[in-house]
Chain A
Amino acid sequence: MGKAPVLSLRGVTKRFPGVIANDNISLDFRAGEIHVLLGENGAGKSTLIGVLAGMQQPDAGEILSHGRAVRIGSPRESLGLGIGTVFQHVLLVPSLTVLENLMLGRGRASRLDRAGTLRRFHDLSQALAVSLDPEAKLGALSLGQQQQVEIMRALWRGEGVLILDEPTSMLTPQGVRELGEVMRRLRGQGVAVIFITHKLREAYEFGDRISVLRLGRLVGQLGPERLSAMNQEQATDEVIRLMFGSPSGHQGEAETLAGRGIRRRAGIIDRSGEAILRARDLSTVAETGECPLREVGFDLWPGEVLGIAGVDGNGQKHLAEVLAGQRMAAQGSIRLGGVEIGGTDVGARRRMGLRYITDERLGEGTVQPFSVATNLVMKEIGVAGLWRHGVSLWGRIHGHARERIREFDIRTPSERTPVGRLSGGNIQKVLLARELGSAARVVIFNKPTYGLDLQNTKLARDRIREGADAGLATVLISTELDELIELADRIGVMFQGRLAGIIDNREGVEQRIGLLMTGAAA
Chain B
Amino acid sequence: METLLTPAFVTALLFGAVTAGVPLLLAGLGEQVSEKAGVLNIGIEGMMLAGAYAGFVAAYYSGSFLAGFVAGGLGGAGVAALMALFCVRLGMNQIVIGIALTLGAEGLTALLHHFQFSRSYPRLDAAPALALPGLAEIPIVGPALFSHHWLVYLAVLLVPLLAWVFRRTHLGLNLEAAGQMPAALDAAGIGVLATRTFAVLATGFLAGMGGAYMANVGAGLFVPFMTGGAGFMGIVLAMLARGRPSWVLVGSIVFGLSLSLTTAFQVAGVNVPTDVVQMLPFLMVMLMLVLFARHSGLPPALGLPYVRGSR
Residues of chain A touching chain B, judged by Cβ–Cβ distance below 8 Å, are 50, 53, 55-56, 74-76, 78-80, 85, 87, 91-96, 100-101, 103-112, 153, 368, 420-421
Contacts and interface: CB of A to CB of B under 8 A. Distances in A.
Closest 4 CB pairs of A and B: A105-B188, A107-B170, A76-B189, A109-B171
A94 B180 CA distance: 8
A93 B184 contact: yes
Contacts of B309: 50, 55-56
Given A96-B177, A101-B184, 14 more contacts: A55-B309, A92-B181, A92-B184, A93-B177, A100-B173, A104-B185, A107-B169, A108-B170, A108-B174, A109-B169, A110-B170, A111-B169, A112-B169, A112-B172
B181 A94 contact: yes
B162 to A, nearest CB: 13
Nearest to A103: B173
B295 to A, nearest CB: 11
A53 B183 CA distance: 12
5 contacts: A74-B186, A91-B184, A93-B181, A104-B184, A108-B174
Given A53-B187, A420-B311, A104 B171 contact: no
B123 interface: no
B187 A91 contact: yes
Given A76-B191, A421-B311, A105 B185 contact: yes
B306 to A, nearest CB: 12
B8 to A, nearest CB: 46
Contact of B177 (A87, A104, A106): A104
Contacts of A53: 187
B156 to A, nearest CB: 22
B294 interface: no
B114 interface: no
A93 B180 contact: yes
A94 B187 CA distance: 15
Contacts of A91: 181, 183-184, 187
Nearest to A102: B188
A79 B170 contact: no
Nearest to B195: A108
B79 to A, nearest CB: 24
B168 interface: yes
Interface string B165-204: 0001111111011001101111111110000000000000
Contacts of A109: 169-171
A109 B195 CA distance: 10
Nearest to B308: A55
A112 B168 contact: yes
B161 to A, nearest CB: 13
Given A50-B309, A111-B168, A79 B181 contact: no
A104 B168 contact: no
A420 B188 CA distance: 24
A26 to B, nearest CB: 22
Contacts of A108: 170-171, 174, 190
Contacts of A95: 176, 180
Given A100-B173, A112-B170, A85 B180 contact: no
Give the dominant DSSP class at A's interface: loop
A125 B174 CA distance: 24
Nearest to A422: B311
Nearest to B167: A112
Contact of B173 (A50, A55, A79, A112): A112
A107 to B, nearest CB: 4
Contacts of B191: 74, 76
Contact of B187 (A56, A80, A85, A107): A85
A334 to B, nearest CB: 29
Nearest to A95: B180
B195 to A, nearest CB: 9
Given A56-B309, A91-B187, A104 B180 contact: no
Interface in B143-171: 168-171
A267 B308 CA distance: 50
Contacts of A153: 188
A96 B190 contact: no
A79 B189 CA distance: 7
B311 A104 contact: no
A72 B187 CA distance: 13
A109 B309 CA distance: 25
A109 B166 CA distance: 10
B169 A110 contact: yes
Contacts of A103: 170, 173
A95 B166 CA distance: 13
B168 A105 contact: no
Contacts of A75: 186-189
B189 A105 contact: yes
A452 B184 CA distance: 24
A106 B170 contact: yes
B205 to A, nearest CB: 15
B226 to A, nearest CB: 34
Contacts of A112: 168-170, 172-173
A104 B191 CA distance: 12
Contacts of A94: 180-181
Contacts of A55: 186-187, 308-309
Contacts of B170: 103, 106-112
B45 to A, nearest CB: 28
A153 B185 CA distance: 13
A107 B188 CA distance: 10
Contacts of B185: 93, 104-105
Contacts of A110: 169-170
A458 to B, nearest CB: 26
Given A53-B187, A55-B309, A91-B187, A96 B180 contact: yes
A130 to B, nearest CB: 20
A299 to B, nearest CB: 38
A105 B184 CA distance: 9
Contacts of B176: 93, 95-96
A106 B311 CA distance: 27
Contact of B174 (A56, A104, A368): A104
Contacts of B188: 75, 104-105, 153
A225 B174 CA distance: 46
A76 B173 contact: no
A95 B168 CA distance: 15
Nearest to A421: B311
Interface string B212-228: 00000000000000000
Nearest to A16: B311
A158 to B, nearest CB: 16
Nearest to B178: A93
A109 B176 CA distance: 13
Interface in B293-311: 308-309, 311
Most chain-A Cβ atoms within 10 A of its Cβ — which of B170, B174, B176?
B170
Nearest to A14: B309
A156 to B, nearest CB: 10
A368 B176 CA distance: 25
Contacts of A105: 185, 188-190
A96 B299 CA distance: 12
Interface string B246-286: 00000000000000000000000000000000000000000
Nearest to B311: A420
A95 B297 CA distance: 10
